Amino acid sequence: MTDSPIDRPSAGAFAPRSPLARAGFWMREQWRAAAESDLWYSFRRSPVTIVAALITLIFVLGSIFAPLIAPYNVFDPGANNLMDGLTPPLGDSFSGSSYLMGTDLQGRDILSTIIYGSRISLIVGVCAVIFAAILGVSLGLAAGYLGGWVDSLIMRTADVFLSFPTILIALLVDGVARAVLTGHRAGDLAVYVMIFSIGVSTWVQYARTVRGQTLVEKNKEYVQAARLVGRHPVLIMLRHVLPNVMGPVLVIATLGLALAIITEATLSFLGVGVPPTQPSLGTLIRIGQEELFSGSWWITIFPGIALILLALSVNLLGDWLRDALNPKLR
């Protein structure tokens, strides 16, 4: 049997008629394309990436199904046994319940607080990345496509942001937001304040990258054609330029997720992040630090390990994605 394109039936000829069957066919085709792609190949070839992906997957699933997985409901004050406070990992507790990673001062199961804490950390991280990406990509598109004073204004602002470390900007935005919101249920809004401050402090990278890519794409023929046809500039930016600049954005977003998770943990550790009623990993570490001196190391160390595992895995995934999408680096 030869492999010439003439002998081989094209996908179109075999495409089934009914919508359901067609959807199944489409999915099989997508699956085949994915399995044969460079991305999947480089993924399979890198054991470190596979481990990182698995760990990330465990964290994501654990966060989604936290109420089902967590051994104890740590947010129900009635469910915590105060007498079990400061039980060491797998140690004998007063009530006879067993705690894989021990308990804190209030008798809360550390494993459960870590599962719920990762949930908060991941939610804040993902939302902050989405916020930063939307902000950065739209500003970058506008700067690159419109040029002129819009470009100057956005990019000079970006320069000022870039002069300072992320954590400092996040702290400032957080501080101002707190000052504005004093008395306005600041505790309830803490999560949104965090998402906003981390997003505002990390948009610059997206904007700079997208602007650079947009400057290149802007002069290509398809964009000029769209302009000649008289499409609205906003539509050209969104429908034509945007899809072609999304590759680098994906890489920045993945690496940005690790940065956002660490920034959130740092802010919460400094006591200006999410409140202890909704503890993230950083809050747990801060609470546990006070008990460190009395020898109860597990309250701090286990959330710390969880944070390191999560941040490192996401970082490694981002590194892999960057190398895989950029053949020049290989």
Partner 1 sequence: MAAFIIKRLLHSVIVMLAVGFVAFLMFNYVGDPINNMVGQETTVVQREQLREQLGLNDPFYLQFLRFAGNAAQGDFGLSYQHRRPVEDIIMERLPATLELSIMSALFALGVGVPMGVYTALNRNSVLSKVFMFVSLVGVSLPTFLIGILLIFLFAVQLQWLPSFGRPGVVDLGWWHTSLLTWDGWKAIIMPAITLGLFQMTLIMRLVRAEMLGVLRTDYIKFARARGLKNRAVHFGHALKNTMVPVITVTGLQLGTIIAFAIITETVFQWPGIGLLFIGAVRDADIPVMSAYLVMIAFFFVVINLIVDLLYFAVDPRLRVERPGASGGH
Instruction: Spell out the residues 6+ positions from residue 206 whose beta carbon is closer than 8 angstroms to its own.
Output: 132, 133, 135, 136, 137, 140, 249, 252, 253
Residue 48 interacting with partner 1 (CB under 8 A) = no
Q: Which of 127, 311, 317, 324 binds partner 1 (CB under 8 A)?
A: 311
Looking at the Cβ atoms of 63 and 263, the one nearer to partner 1 is: 263
Instruction: Please compute, for residue 96, the number of CA atoms within 13 A of its CA located in the half-sphere on the CB side.
Output: 0
DSSP letters, 213-236, are HHHHHHTSHHHHHHHHHT--HHHI
Residue 139 interacting with partner 1 (CB under 8 A) = no
* Piece of the chain touching partner 1 by CB under 8 A; list 76-84, 91-99, 169-177, 221-229: 169-177
- Closest to 222 in 3D by CA, of 236, 206, 207: 236
* Piece of the chain touching partner 1 by CB under 8 A; list 56-64, 105-113, 163-171, 244-252: 163-171
Taking the complex as a whole, the smallest distance from the CB of residue 166 to partner 1 amounts, in Å, to: 10
Instruction: Please compute, for residue 1, the number of CA atoms within 13 A of its CA located in the half-sphere on the CB side.
Output: 5
Taking the complex as a whole, the smallest distance from the CB of residue 122 to partner 1 amounts, in Å, to: 16
The rounded distance, in Å, linking the Cα atoms of 251 and 323 is 9
Looking at the Cβ atoms of 148 and 183, the one nearer to partner 1 is: 183
Give the pair of three-digit tokens for residue 235.
Answer: 């539509």
x/- map, 260-299, partner 1, by CB under 8 A = --x--xx--xxxx------------x---x--xx-x-x--
Is residue 263 within 8 Å of 105, Cβ to Cβ? no
Residue 187 interacting with partner 1 (CB under 8 A) = no
Taking the complex as a whole, the smallest distance from the CB of residue 174 to partner 1 amounts, in Å, to: 6
Beta bridge partner(s), residue 135: none
Taking the complex as a whole, the smallest distance from the CB of residue 95 to partner 1 amounts, in Å, to: 28
Which residue is listed with tokens 């008798």?
107
Residue 152 interacting with partner 1 (CB under 8 A) = no
Please state the length of the chain.
Answer: 330
Instruction: Give the burial string for 287-323 (b: 16+ CB within 10 Å, else e).
Output: bbeebeeeebbbbbbbbbebbebbbebbbbbbbbbbb
Residue 77 interacting with partner 1 (CB under 8 A) = no
Which residue is listed with tokens 């004998």?
92
Q: Which of 8, 44, 45, 156 binds partner 1 (CB under 8 A)?
A: 156
Taking the complex as a whole, the smallest distance from the CB of residue 204 to partner 1 amounts, in Å, to: 14
DSSP letters, 296-318, are -THHHHHHHHHHHHHHHHHHHHH
Taking the complex as a whole, the smallest distance from the CB of residue 86 to partner 1 amounts, in Å, to: 15
Q: Which of 25, 123, 178, 231 binds partner 1 (CB under 8 A)?
A: 178
Looking at the Cβ atoms of 171 and 191, the one nearer to partner 1 is: 171
Residue 47 interacting with partner 1 (CB under 8 A) = no
- Closest to 111 in 3D by CA, of 299, 297, 263: 299
Taking the complex as a whole, the smallest distance from the CB of residue 293 to partner 1 amounts, in Å, to: 6
**Count of positions on this chain that bind partner 1 (CB under 8 A):** 39
Residue 51 interacting with partner 1 (CB under 8 A) = no
Residue 125 interacting with partner 1 (CB under 8 A) = no
Extract the runs of DSSP E, i.e. beta strands, from the chain: none
- Looking at residues 198 to 227 of the shown chain, list those that interact with partner 1 (rule: CB under 8 A): none
Query: Which residues contact partner 1 by CB under 8 A?
Result: 156-157, 159-160, 163-165, 167-168, 171-172, 174-176, 178-180, 182, 262, 265-266, 269-272, 285, 289, 292-293, 295, 297, 300-301, 304, 307-308, 311-312, 315
